[in-house]
Structure formats: structure tokens, C-alpha cells
Amino acid sequence: MRKTKEEKILSALFIVPSIVLVLVFVYGFIAWTGWVSLTNWRDVFPDFTYVGLRNYIELFQNLRFQIDFKNILVFTVLFLFSCIVIGLFLAILLDRKIRFENVFRSLYLFPMAVSFIVTGVVWRWLLNPGTEATGPIGINMILEQIGLGFLKSRWYTDPNIGIKAVVIAAVWQMSGYVMAMYLAGIRGIPNELSEAAQVDGASIWQIYRYVVLPLLRPITLGAVIILTHISLKIFDLVVSMTGAGIGFSCDVPALFMYDTTFRGNFFAQGAGIATILLISIAILIIPYLRYSLKTGG
């Protein structure tokens, strides 16, 4: 739309405060963090001696960091996949004109209200496998009692599983929200489309597969952004549920960053971890943002 001068000024006034704040508190701080990661700050007393990329080289050789990086990738992929599949599945079910839909919907959604810290505490208990002496406890106990004992697992006490157990808690927390997104999306599809498909003789499943799912793609993309930004920064949940875990099998970069900065006083290394995280996110998200802005608009 062509704008008058007044309109230009007003629109600027509307967004300039946000832009300025983001520039300072996001990008300014990112720059500061990046700078610190190139220094020798290892003590509470700041030491800004420039050391180039030494901290990064040390980080990539650091066994804990290597494990963390792998963990966060595994976590993100599993978390995204599970939330989207479960969210979509539940949304499809709820769309089938269910009695007590409100009840089910609220039930699936409410975990979002709880803080990650509380979620972590409860799931730590639930997924505690117990031992020979105590027998199975938590979820393992329930599985055994309903005859699904073969599904028992050592969950997060098993170094091969580790962070994957944390995924369960995270999915519990966020899948309801994804379900709500999909449900709204499904409901938003004009009835004419599915009616037309039914007239053409399509079965329910075919309607879902060929009409509904493609139209939900934008929602999936939106869910990916929200879930990714939670997953890459995940901290509270891990701290309260498992800590770093046996052999760092549950450790994540945000936890390492916190530990090394505030417990070990190695501020430069903490800054390095933060910068690596941000660069990884940038590599993934920026191309996606540009693509979907161009096509979606």
C-alpha cells in the first residue's frame, strides 16, 4: 500500500522500540558473548586477553562437549518427531466428533502450564527403573503389572539411552500444544474440500492423507520453529530430571555452559559453547526462515 508520511512515521514508531531493544539485548549480547569466547577469561576476575580460537579448539576436543553435541541433536530430532506425530495423531482423533472433546483436549493441553522443573522432578521418579533389590518401580512397575513387562527399560540410568528418556518428559509437556495447533488447523480447512473428496469416493484415510495433511504443512513448519527453540535451549528439564547423567549421557550444551561458567569460573569457555549453539541454530533456521517468508508471506 502506498503510504503517507504520517503512516510511515507511525509504523516506524510502532516497531522501532522493539528493533532497538532486540538489537541491544539480543545482538549486542551475542556480540559480547562472541568476544568473550575469544578471550582468556578463566577466573572470576575478567581477563580479556585475546587468544583467538583456542577455546573453540579445546571445546571440540573436550569429551563432554562432544557427547553434549550428539545428545542435543538426538534430543531435538526425537522430540520434534514425537511431538509432531503424537500431536497430529491426537488432533485427528479429536476431530472425529468425540464426546467430552473438551475434557480430553484440556487434559492433553494442561502439561504446558507446568514448569519444566516440576516436569523433570516427576518424570525422574516415574522413569526410575528400580533395582533387583527393590524390584521395578515407577513406570516399570506399572508396565509389569499390566503385562507389558517386556517394555521395561533402565531408562536414563542406561548410558545408551540417557537423553532419550528426557525426551519422554519433554513430549509429555509439549505434545498437547502441538495437538491444539493441528486441531485448529484441521478445523480451519474448509468443509467443501473434504466434502468434495468424499463425493469423489475417497475414504476417511485418503481424505486425511491427500487433502488434510498437505494443508497442514504450514502448521508443521510453525511447530518446528517453536519446538526447536525450546529443544536447543533445554536446561531446566535436564537439570531437574537427570542432571548430566551417567557418563554425561543426559548432558546438554546449556548445562555444560552453566556448569563451566558459574561453577568452574571458565567464562570464556561458557561463551564459546553459547556461540557454537547460536551458530548451529543460525545455520538451520535462517535458510528455513528465508524460504518460508518468500513462499508463505
Closer Cβ to other proteins, 207 or 254, answer by number:
254
Residue 276: what residue type?
A: I
Closer Cβ to other proteins, 50 or 205, answer by number:
205
Give the shortest CB-186-to-other proteins separation in angstroms. 10
Closer Cβ to other proteins, 197 or 231, answer by number:
231
Give the shortest CB-74-to-other proteins separation in angstroms. 17
Nearest CA among 257, 242, 291, 277 for reference residue 122:
242
Give the shortest CB-219-to-other proteins separation in angstroms. 5
Closer Cβ to other proteins, 80 or 176, answer by number:
176
Give the shortest CB-196-to-other proteins separation in angstroms. 21
Give the shortest CB-83-to-other proteins separation in angstroms. 13
